[in-house]
A and B are shown apart, each in its own frame.
Chain A
């Protein structure tokens, strides 16, 4: 069980994290999701021991590891740009963590070789052991990086935007593959991403972060369907934000939660209509304002024409109140 307690971190004058509290259960696959500058990578690195917090504790199974160096924490870390050792072969990379162990903890050469090869099989790269990182594709390199991190039998696997440097197609394949790997190994994993699709697809629970604070922790379903704050509602999935007439409230409605009705709805002037996957995406302007509205209509329905006017009604929505500081949600 990993517990992060009241972690605060500043870089010079820049406050990166404010009093972060988080519990991670054994075997969980947690996503830290947020825009750049949200502090998600900083939090990950503090858990790893690559950064040190200014205040607060990091506890592994009740034990405070805050004073321990990264090498002593037993974490496996996978970097966005792989960080493979270019002058070593693939198998030497994977075996590295075992080779640098102190003599008394080190397995024999033969055992190390076997472990490394087993891991290469696990990541489906058997046969490529003698190659150099420079000779592999991006997806292959990331799998080597993963095998290398797993070789030291970590208690915790940390991944920093692991697919960020890869092509879209490779990213999708590796995502699925990582999910399967986690199911098989059951290793507690935390990964950082700014791609909400990735977070929603892979994680057991998602931690949404913004400006150094946790906005919401929940399952992907909870985050998407029941956003706790305006930021979460806006950042995860697409949202239309409509100020209510009383001036202190804002309505958040997802494009697919808008119904087009014959009568008794708000009028919208249609500007543009195009196919988006299995739906019609209608872009329009709310009558009597500049407010842009995005509506998703199932493709089997007839789409309106640009220039037409349609009437809409929210099927589901969330109301957020302007907070005490006057910040519009």
Chain B
């Protein structure tokens, strides 16, 4: 029987739409991804290994990891604290708080770097004071950490807030009524409930922390070997026409992105993170 249901398109239309969507995605999304790996391996695996295994690249990798290891935990703590405050209590100004948390998202990365230069730079608000005490923030690692923390600020909170709002307070109130204190309640009741959302937020936070370019570019001073993160190193190599080198380091970051995507898929599929509604 060749009838089409009333709520869907005929087979031909469906196939055409699917084909068009896939073509668009392949062209705009898949091709660049493939290009990264293809260019990195263009001169063989040896050249790839050399590009990654030199002191500057290794320093960039180390710095990137260091930045992530500092900023991600900080924002996890903040994210959890903020989500707890927002979803378990009622107080005036709650929606204002939520909007403020989203602020770093709406600001250009370059501006995110600029504000720290204006605050801590040599000619900035606190510049003279810092110079007096011989503290370097801009053009040094602390500046990069600050800018990264700013940029990745909302990620964990944004994942946890809707999740915890949906879960409500019932479990926690039950725990408290049975005599648990705050920490016990959080550790034994809340945390198990939110762990997959938390993990996903951490993954996103980390991906962004390691991959941030614009903000870090502004505050770092691009000092090779000292204040170069991996994305910045990619830029330097590219501008020097060392394409294989640039793409080699880039491919490491692309691998990280792929891991993040795979992890997200797994989390979503197993734990229905984003409640994607009814299926047709």
Contacts and interface: CB of A to CB of B under 8 A. Distances in A.
A and B touch in their complex, CB below 8 angstroms: yes
Interface of A: 49-52, 67, 69-71
A71 B3 contact: no
13 contacts: A49-B6, A50-B5, A50-B6, A51-B5, A52-B1, A52-B3, A52-B5, A67-B3, A69-B3, A69-B4, A69-B6, A70-B6, A71-B6
B193 to A, nearest CB: 31
Interface string B3-23: 111100000000000000000
B1 to A, nearest CB: 6
Contacts of B5: 50-52
B278 to A, nearest CB: 13
A70 B4 CA distance: 10
A67 B2 CA distance: 9
B2 to A, nearest CB: 9
Contacts of A49: 6
B11 to A, nearest CB: 15
B10 to A, nearest CB: 11
Q: Tell me the interface secondary structure of chain B in the complex.
A: loop
A51 B6 CA distance: 8
A186 to B, nearest CB: 28
A52 B6 CA distance: 10
Nearest to A69: B6
B5 to A, nearest CB: 8
A267 to B, nearest CB: 49
Q: Tell me the interface secondary structure of chain A in the complex.
A: loop
* Chain B interface size range: under 10
A152 to B, nearest CB: 15
A70 B8 CA distance: 13
Contacts of B3: 52, 67, 69
Nearest to B6: A70
Nearest to B1: A52
Given A50-B5, A52-B3, A69-B4, 10 more contacts: A49-B6, A50-B6, A51-B5, A52-B1, A52-B5, A67-B3, A69-B3, A69-B6, A70-B6, A71-B6
A158 to B, nearest CB: 14
Nearest to A55: B1
A10 B4 CA distance: 17
A51 B5 CA distance: 7
Q: Which of B3, B4, B6 has the most CB of A within 10 A?
A: B6
Contacts of B6: 49-50, 69-71
A71 B5 CA distance: 11
Nearest to A45: B6
A107 B259 CA distance: 59
Interface in B215-236: none
Contacts of A69: 3-4, 6
A200 to B, nearest CB: 32
A294 to B, nearest CB: 38
B186 to A, nearest CB: 39
A53 to B, nearest CB: 9
A51 B8 CA distance: 12
Nearest to B7: A50
A50 B3 CA distance: 11
Contacts of B4: 69
A51 B7 CA distance: 10
Nearest to A68: B3
A52 B5 CA distance: 8
A71 B3 CA distance: 13
A71 B7 CA distance: 11
A50 B4 CA distance: 10
B279 to A, nearest CB: 15
A52 B3 CA distance: 8
A149 to B, nearest CB: 15
Contacts of A71: 6
A322 B4 CA distance: 44
Contacts of A67: 3
A67 B1 CA distance: 9
A51 B1 CA distance: 12
B176 to A, nearest CB: 36
Nearest to A51: B5
Nearest to A70: B6
A118 B34 CA distance: 63
Contacts of B1: 52
A71 B4 CA distance: 12
A67 to B, nearest CB: 7
Contacts of A50: 5-6
Nearest to A49: B6
Interface string B86-107: 0000000000000000000000
A160 to B, nearest CB: 14
B47 to A, nearest CB: 55
A39 B23 CA distance: 42
A49 B4 CA distance: 10
A69 B3 CA distance: 8
A80 B5 CA distance: 20
A51 B3 CA distance: 10
A164 B175 CA distance: 38
Nearest to A52: B3
A60 B96 CA distance: 61
Interface in B63-115: none
Contacts of A52: 1, 3, 5
Contacts of A70: 6
A69 B4 CA distance: 8
The 5 A-B pairs with the shortest beta carbon distances in the complex, nearest first, are A70-B6, A52-B3, A50-B6, A52-B1, A69-B6
